[in-house]
Structure 1
């Protein structure tokens, strides 16, 4: 149950603007929450709804314990309505049903709130129905539209909403959040370096195949260092069977990039930036093989491999070529 204090740590500007709307008693009839997946849009909208309905709130802070707060937590508040895509899109019928709900008198008060998740996925007909809804706002109705891509929405809808832009989480924040969720410090560092999307980081951590990515990267580096003639054998018999999908292979290459970035960080005495914190001995050995310049060149080679994967070049051929290049 995040509070406004929590939200100010992750999204300070958005949180402060919403808190100010309570202080000034100027809640808009419609908000557009724009931001990447995992930046806290759903949590923010839920908290904002609590603050609207809570009768025991102090300033903007809801009590979290009253009937209204608990109903919102359980998804059973009669005057808070959620709309999500039905399949691939939000359909006209869903907006019509929403409008019908709003013709009834509120169960607890005249306050009503609706939250549309993935609002950019509304069909044209659904968008036009919502537009009519927004054009005639009820003073006691608040809408929150959540989207990762507001540019895909009608300009006329965007213009009737107060736009609030959610910023990507910084890596340190993602790392701390992951550790709080029980992820090991070493894995949290890697995940936070791969993505600033907390939800995506959690999903990666839960994937069985990801658990061995770190180990495979270290094994590849050891082969390149100590048994270069076995590089192609390792790629074909251990690396490629693990990364069955192109998306997985891209992530494997991203983790390999982190290794070479660590070599550069070590050369520049940037200890805080190092991700593979438990592999100091292996890094000491690796810096004798790859200078800062050659580590930077290796990063370029990996980026080129990633580009080829995106262009549908055969993944095994790409990895074999990259392995030979890294051996030189």
Structure 2
């Protein structure tokens, strides 16, 4: 999404609120933009920054071609500061460095913008330091905080921001985009359940790693069905070596979650919602016979808890061993 017109097509309410503010010269000193991955949070932040700095814009639309727009797009503008998590969180030191930057006037104007990605990962100390900015707003400063979970933001920050909740993307529309991009219907259904980002989905489609990840999930469920101790060998010899990085570990649990959700959908006769086993109905029937609805519900809750533990930086080996034990009970 490169223009406000494109943003308005995907996020009409958020787009209208911000463009009206720009037209009236009443841009908020702080925005909290909340939405799932791929719903346009970063695109809106970039577009807002360009609209504030671009001197060649037509109405609210920045020109996209001037040096200012290009530097904001590449995150190289000296008065637009991006803050992203270092490791699992945004730390106090990062906010301290931002505060030092803001003691000086802008290099090219008096305006400054700072964009905080994954704002829900702010440590408590970092959040309290950000709060000072919000309590003493400068009319030439705009804060834009992006999050997938606005409820994880401390109330004192939320109360000082204009909150924009982005609507989820239409999965069927996104599936059509994926199919038009050359992705099979089977993969399009699966990818649309995991991401709203076309670039990310295209990369997965071309990556042997993702195909292997899908096979590993099936193998793991087969071991659970067989009720053997071989499941621990698979976890240590195949699962953990394959899902090395934190985002890969989360993808593995997401795939496992979708597989068990399919079993629940099959139990209740909602076959249109089947995603993971869309082209493997016979395999799905075999698996659902091994798990009752009550058992599947327990497993789904256990997987969600495991995802939360990963976010809390619990060691992935411990997370998977505990999850395996819960599923085998």
Change (3 A) 1:304 1:142: closer
Tell me the distance in 2 between the aligned counterparts of 1:160 and 1:150: 13
Q: Which structure 1 segments of 5+ residues have no match? A: 224-230, 322-328
Change (3 A) 1:317 1:52: closer
- How far 1:28 sits from its partner (Å)? 0.7
- How far 1:72 sits from its partner (Å)? 0.8
Q: 2:258 aligns with which of 241, 254, 261?
A: 254
Tell me the distance in 2 between the aligned counterparts of 1:60 and 1:138: 22
Give 2:312's aligned residue: none
Tell me the distance in 1 between the aligned counterparts of 2:39 and 2:18: 16
Matched ranges for 1:195-234 at <5 A:
195-198=194-197, 202=201, 205=205, 208-212=208-212, 232=226
CA contact (8 A) 1:171 1:196 kept: no
- How far 1:160 sits from its partner (Å)? 1.4
Give 2:246's aligned residue: none
Q: CA RMSD in A?
A: 4.4
Tell me the distance in 2 between the aligned counterparts of 1:200 and 1:233: 39
Structure (1 or 2) with the larger CA radius of gyration: 1
Tell me the distance in 2 between the aligned counterparts of 1:93 and 1:86: 10
Tell me the distance in 2 between the aligned counterparts of 1:317 and 1:151: 28
Change (3 A) 1:242 1:191: farther
Give 1:134's aligned residue: 134
TM-score (norm 2): 0.69
Q: Which structure 2 segments of 5+ residues have no match? A: 244-248, 307-320
Give 2:317's aligned residue: none
Give 1:8's aligned residue: 8
- How far 1:123 sits from its partner (Å)? 3.2
Change (3 A) 1:91 1:260: closer
Tell me the distance in 2 between the aligned counterparts of 1:216 and 1:136: 52
Tell me the distance in 2 between the aligned counterparts of 1:18 and 1:136: 22
Give 1:107's aligned residue: 107
Give 1:25's aligned residue: 25
- How far 1:143 sits from its partner (Å)? 0.9
Change (3 A) 1:8 1:286: same
CA contact (8 A) 2:263 2:296 kept: no
Tell me the distance in 1 between the aligned counterparts of 2:123 and 2:217: 44
Matched ranges for 1:85-124 at <5 A:
85-124=85-124
Higher mean C-alpha displacement, 309-318 vs 4-13: 309-318
Change (3 A) 1:275 1:80: same
Tell me the distance in 2 between the aligned counterparts of 1:76 and 1:253: 39
- How far 1:38 sits from its partner (Å)? 3.5
Please tell me whether residue 147 in structure 1 is matched to residue 147 in structure 2.
Answer: yes
Tell me the distance in 1 between the aligned counterparts of 2:106 and 2:143: 15
Change (3 A) 1:305 1:101: closer
Tell me the distance in 1 between the aligned counterparts of 2:137 and 2:32: 15
Higher mean C-alpha displacement, 68-77 vs 204-213: 204-213
Deviations 1:120-165 (A, max 9, x none): 3333333333222222222111111122333343322222111111
- How far 1:243 sits from its partner (Å)? 5.1
